[in-house]
């Protein structure tokens, strides 16, 4: 059965969908069968980030309303054969219940290892629909006060669900600002939000990476956390910002 993980955030623009896509790619590259499910009805951006926006015939609403089987709504990624996306719907104004979405995901679960659920930002109905379908959660924020304030509200709401674990991803971290004390450290953010730190993603220009950069390694480390694998290189003897991140996450 697939592990269902909701990826959420307090506000838009913190890179939640990018985190979801990159985590899915890393898990697929490790050989795991992955669905990335977009439950951000109205926006539906995950297919654009994955580059498969022109490949979908059906979406979640079609599956819920019986116009297709759940498996027919999946789009297989052309580069990563074990990675699939399940689009939401850009124009649907009909109410889609958490129970209806959960039935679709439960029907697909036996054939996959992970189902990553891209939730709308905030704590409106869309958030509750996504959280109700999950067993675990990742909360994405940036080191900025406005993002952290909204993330704090989401963290409180996540505690009301019966989730087996909630982790924190601090995205768009600029090491120079952290070193100068202009931004809180990821550890301080984790303590403030009372959510365990799972990944620190450095700020870079590219959204979707296959090159071995610090950002790539951060997503790989996050995937390894969920699979129980160990980082290939011990961080203890290394110097610099990213090695410090790895040491903190290993503790």
Give me the residue label for tokens 């109700």.
Answer: 132
3-250 maps to CATH 3.50.50.60: no
- At 43 the pLDDT is 78
Is 35 within 8 Å of 114 (Cβ atoms)? yes
What is the full per-residue pLDDT of the chain (251 aa) written as tens digits? Answer: 999 999 999 999 999 999 999 999 999 999 999 999 999 887 778 999 999 989 989 999 999 999 999 999 999 999 999 999 999 876 666 789 999 999 999 999 999 999 999 999 999 999 999 999 999 999 999 999 999 999 999 999 999 999 999 999 999 998 888 888 888 899 999 999 999 999 999 987 555 545 557 888 899 999 999 998 744 333 333 334 444 544 444 44
Q: What is the pLDDT of residue 212?
A: 57
Residue whose pair of structure tokens reads 């994955």 in the numeric block: 50
- Each domain of the chain, given as residue ranges in start order, spans 3-250
Q: CB under 8 Å to 238, separation ≥6 — which residues?
A: 246
Q: Return the DSSP state at 93.
A: -
**Torsions phi, psi of 245, nearest 5?**
-60, -45
Q: Print the SS3 string covering 157-202.
A: HHCCCCCCEEEEEEEEECHHHHHCCCCCCHHHHHHHHCCEEEEEEE
């Amino acid at each position: 059965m697939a592990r269902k993980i909701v990826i959420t955030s307090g506000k838009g623009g913190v890179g939640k969908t990018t985190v979801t896509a990159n985590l899915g790619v890393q898990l697929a590259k490790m050989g795991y069968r992955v669905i990335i499910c977009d439950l951000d009805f109205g926006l539906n951006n995950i297919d654009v980030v994955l580059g498969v926006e022109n490949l979908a015939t059906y979406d979640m609403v079609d599956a819920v309303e019986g116009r297709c089987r759940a498996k027919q709504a999946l789009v297989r990624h052309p580069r990563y054969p074990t990675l699939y996306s399940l689009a939401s719907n850009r124009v649907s104004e009909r109410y889609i219940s958490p129970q209806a979405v959960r039935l679709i995901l439960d029907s697909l679960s036996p054939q996959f290892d992970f189902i990553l659920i891209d939730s709308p930002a905030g704590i409106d109905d869309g958030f509750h629909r996504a959280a109700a379908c999950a067993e675990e959660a990742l909360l994405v924020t940036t080191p900025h006060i406005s993002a952290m304030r909204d993330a704090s509200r989401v963290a409180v709401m996540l505690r009301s669900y019966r989730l087996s674990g909630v982790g924190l991803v601090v995205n768009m971290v600029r090491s120079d600002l952290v070193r100068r004390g202009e931004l809180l450290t990821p550890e301080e953010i984790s303590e403030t939000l009372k959510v365990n730190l799972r990944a620190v993603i450095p700020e870079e220009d590219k959204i979707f990476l296959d090159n071995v950069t610090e950002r790539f390694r951060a997503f790989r480390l996050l995937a390894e956390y969920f699979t129980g694998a160990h980082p290939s290189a011990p961080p203890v003897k290394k110097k610099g910002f990213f090695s410090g991140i790895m040491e903190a996450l290993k503790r």
